């Protein structure tokens, strides 16, 4: 790989890492709002944070395919560090009281972000475990199939890791405060929605990896 191609690969890596971290933080900041999503065949009750969350798994699959396991895990850990920093910023914002004419009062800030520490803490644990499971399973299937069947490792790794993530987050947030039947329905809706999203983004993964390989002059199965 020549110098110009290497620089292009490095810039793409930074872009994907930035996109991953942005989506991850936004997921946690809007997670307190629950919404109803009607897909025609089913109405899902979801945390709003679920909506952009599948993007993070799509990006880790792209990174795994192009950059390998080590560099993908580095992005996962950077995301974990970004969540810790987000917690600190939210705490800092709550320490200083709002002025009289502030558009956002202390009460409104607390209402919007007061539970964010719990959401982020539960999400941090679930996220770290689920992302590492996703990357490990992705490369397990990649090795087992000799680099073939991208659709299999994309969906098999994501569907399992999303079940881990959804179960951990919902249980930490609602165990002891809601009935298990309601908790179970939240887990089922969240996981099913994420699994369907993983299936739907398979063409995007194929196109993205094909385009990146073409730009970086990589052979199929070759990593940067």
* Interval 147-160: pLDDT, tens: 777 777 777 777 88
Whole-number pLDDT of residue 150: 75
Q: Which CATH number goes with the domain that contains 23?
A: 1.10.1760
For residue 31, give Cα distances in angstroms to 62, 110, 119, 131, 214. 25, 14, 7, 18, 37
Residue 39 inside a domain? The answer is yes
What percent of the chain has pLDDT above 70?
97
pLDDT surpassing 90 at residue 197 = no
**Residue 17: predicted pLDDT:** 96
pLDDT value at 174 more than 80: no
Mean pLDDT of 76-93: 87
Instruction: State phi, psi for 38 to the nearest 5 degrees.
Output: -100, 110
Q: State residue 116's pLDDT score.
A: 61
Q: Is residue 221 part of a domain?
A: no
Contact 75, 63 (CB under 8 A): yes
Q: What is the mean pLDDT of residues 175-194?
A: 85
Measured in residues, the chain has a length of: 224
- The CA distances from residue 111 to 104, 115, 116, in Å, are 11, 8, 10
Q: Supply the range of the domain harboring residue 156.
A: 3-216
According to the model, what pLDDT value does residue 19 have? 95
Report the pLDDT value the prediction gives residue 3, as an integer from 0 to 100. Answer: 85
Average pLDDT, the chain: 84
Q: What is the DSSP letter of 49?
A: G
**% pLDDT > 90, the chain:** 17
**DSSP bridge pairs for 36:** 45
Would residue 104 count as lying in a domain? Answer: yes
For residue 11, tell me if it sits in a domain: yes
Q: Name the nearest CA neighbour of 3 among 209, 11, 212.
A: 11
pLDDT the model gives residue 66:
93
Spatial neighbors of 53 by CB under 8 A, at least 6 apart, are 23, 24, 27, 194
Q: How many domains does the chain have?
A: 1
- Let me know if residue 17 belongs to a domain: yes
Q: What CA–CA distance (Å, rounded) separates 23 from 79?
A: 10
Confidence class for position 165, pLDDT limits 50, 70, 90: confident
pLDDT at 162: 80
**pLDDT (tens digit per residue) in 12-71:** 999 999 999 999 888 888 877 888 888 888 888 888 888 887 888 889 889 988 998 889
- Which one has a higher pLDDT value, 172 or 184? 184
Domain membership flag for residue 223? no
Q: Is the pLDDT of residue 195 over 70?
A: yes
The reported pTM is: 0.80
Residue 222: inside a domain, yes or no?
no
In a domain, residue 162? The reply is yes
DSSP letter (8 states) at residue 34: E
């Amino acid at each position: 790989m020549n110098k110009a191609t290497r620089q292009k690969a490095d810039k793409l890596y930074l872009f994907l890492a930035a996109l991953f971290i942005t989506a991850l933080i936004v997921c946690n900041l809007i997670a307190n709002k629950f919404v109803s999503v009607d897909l025609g065949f089913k109405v899902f009750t979801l945390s709003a944070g679920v909506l952009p969350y599948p993007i993070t798994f799509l990006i880790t699959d792209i990174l795994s395919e192009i950059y390998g396991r080590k560099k993908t895990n580095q992005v996962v850990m950077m995301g974990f560090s970004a969540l810790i920093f987000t917690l600190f910023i939210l705490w800092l914002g709550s320490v200083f009281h709002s002025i009289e004419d502030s558009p956002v009062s202390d009460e409104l800030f607390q209402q919007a972000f007061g539970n964010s520490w719990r959401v982020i803490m539960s999400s941090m644990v679930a996220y770290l475990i689920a992302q590492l499971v996703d990357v490990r399973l992705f490369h397990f299937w990649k090795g087992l199939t000799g680099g073939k069947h991208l659709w299999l490792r994309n969906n098999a790794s994501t569907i399992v890791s999303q079940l881990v993530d959804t179960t951990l987050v919902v249980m930490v947030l609602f165990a002891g405060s809601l009935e298990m039947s309601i908790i179970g329905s939240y887990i089922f809706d969240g996981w099913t929605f994420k699994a369907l999203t993983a299936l739907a983004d398979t063409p995007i993964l194929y196109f993205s990896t094909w385009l990146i390989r073409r730009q970086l002059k990589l052979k199929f199965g070759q990593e940067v």
